[in-house]
Amino acid sequence: MKETLNIGLTETKRKKTADGLIKLLANNYVLYLKTHNFHWNVVGSMFQPLHSLFEAQYIDLWNAADKIAERIRALGFFVPASYEDFAKLSKIKEAVGTKSVKAKSMISQLVGDQEIIIRLARELLPQIEETEDQVTVDLLSERMEVHEKNAWMLRSFLE
């Protein structure tokens, strides 16, 4: 027997929220892969601080992916979880052939990618507020704060 989900949000509101979170998850996951890639492949005089910063950021992204995916499941929907699905849904593009990518280019790409997630979360926020899903509103606010801080820290290497 299938149980119905009754958490005080209509299915329409839950679906709208889950669809937005799926886009956020896809971008988060591609950024996770890219940041981890750069962590492994950064070279040059900024190696140690960037290696450490990239590590802290990819660990946060990994943990955020789980939090976002579990929120989607709590809303009653399944999570797409393949590289193909994420690549189709993400505005962030993978870094391919990183052997020739210089540290400053890595930083610039990651700043832009962090800002993509900030803009996406900021775009989703009023839509989610309309659904009266405070848990997801809090999640989006938290992610915006993290990504704004990450972008600021990365930009500091470019000055």
The predicted-structure confidence for 98-125, as pLDDT tens digits, reads as follows 677 899 999 999 999 999 999 999 999 9
pTM of the model as a whole: 0.94
The CATH architecture annotation of domain 11-156 reads: Up-down Bundle (1.20)
Cα dihedral 119, 94, 135, 4 in deg (nearest 10): 130
Q: Where are the domains of the chain?
A: 11-156
Question: In a structure prediction context, what are the per-residue pLDDT tens digits for the chain, which is 159 residues long?
Answer: 456 888 999 999 999 999 999 999 999 999 999 999 999 999 999 999 999 999 999 999 999 999 999 999 999 999 999 999 999 999 999 987 767 789 999 999 999 999 999 999 999 999 999 999 999 999 999 999 999 999 999 999 998
Are 32 and 63 spatial neighbours (Cβ–Cβ below 8 Å)? Answer: no
Q: What is the DSSP string of 57-85?
A: HHHHHHHHHHHHHHHHHHTT-----SHHH
DSSP state of 5: P
What angle, rounded to 10 degrees, do the helices at 103-131 and 11-41 form? 170
What angle, rounded to 10 degrees, do the helices at 134-156 and 47-74 form? 170
